[in-house]
Chain A
């Protein structure tokens, strides 16, 4: 079983739609949860960073962590064509421990 599971998509939505991206994990020691956006042939860009359970909102982006279900989500409201990218979840146990990445979900927002 992989440490982190993420549906690779591809996911295609019309502009203005709400997008839901999800990851599940198996390691209960994970405490830090990140979402990265990666454009084609570019390095990942940190979008959201959450510690432990709960919600975090930043503009059109909301990250949710449910540690009891080992499930994290990223919601994008009012999606824009510029949001078209691959979204990677990442998590770690902290203390300098290794990051574990999902395989990434490819998102296309159609104008």
Chain B
């Protein structure tokens, strides 16, 4: 149980285009999901908290107009990187609290590697 999937696993795009990344909870419902970014040899940095039925909460320094989050249903959250630039190239990972409902048991998706040319 508590499986989180992401799609796509790897995307390459041209500078200036937009990229959508999907995060799904496969066997449980998640009213909250988290989006992280991980640069090579660095730790995960929380970007935003995605809430079903309401606006996402962004961490300080994260541009909400650039990283659009939509929590469309209890099993799906999407992150759209708008007008992507090479500095946005990173590993994007989502997570969701487990079936216990505890935020302290987060289960992570496999990640999406974004390369912006």
Q: Which residues of A1-26 are within 8 A (CB) of B?
A: 4, 6, 8
A88/B111 contact (C-beta < 8 A), A49-B105, A96-B103 known: no
Looking at the assembled complex, report how far the CB atom of B49 sits from the nearest CB atom of chain A, in whole angstroms.
8
Chain B interface extent, by class: 20 to 34
Q: In the complex the two chains form, is A92's CB within 8 Å of B93's CB?
A: no
A69-110: CB near B (< 8 Å → 1, else 0) gives: 000000000000000000010001011111101111000000
- Nearest-neighbour CB distance to chain B for A22, whole angstroms, equals 15
Question: Given A41-B111, A43-B109, A44-B93, do A103 and B42 touch, yes or no (CB 8 Å)?
Answer: yes
Given that A41-B111, A42-B110, A44-B93 are contacting pairs, would A49 and B104 also be in contact in the complex, using a CB cutoff of 8 Å? Answer: yes
Residues of A within 8 A of B111 (CB): 41-43
Task: Report B93 CB to chain A, min CB distance, Å.
Answer: 5
Across the interface, name the chain A residue whose C-beta is closest to B107: A46
Interface residue count for A (Cβ, 8 Å)?
A: 26
Interface SS of chain B: strand
Q: Would A94 and B44 count as touching, CB distance under 8 A?
A: no
> When A8-B41, A101-B43, A101-B44 are in contact, do A36 and B104 touch as well, CB less than 8 Å?
no
Which residues does chain A contribute within 8 Å of B7, judged by CB atoms?
Answer: none
Q: What are the 8 A-B residue pairs with the smallest beta carbon separation, nearest first?
A: A32-B104, A43-B108, A101-B43, A103-B43, A43-B110, A43-B111, A96-B103, A44-B108
Binding site for B on A (CB under 8 A): 4, 6, 8, 32, 34, 36, 41-46, 49, 51, 88, 92, 94-99, 101-104
Which residues does B use to contact A, with CB under 8 Å? 4, 6, 32, 34, 41-44, 46, 59, 91, 93, 95, 103-111, 113
What are 19 A-B residue pairs whose CB atoms fall within 8 Å in the complex? Answer: A6-B43, A8-B41, A41-B113, A42-B110, A43-B93, A43-B95, A43-B108, A44-B108, A46-B105, A49-B104, A88-B43, A88-B44, A92-B104, A94-B103, A99-B106, A101-B43, A102-B43, A103-B42, A103-B43
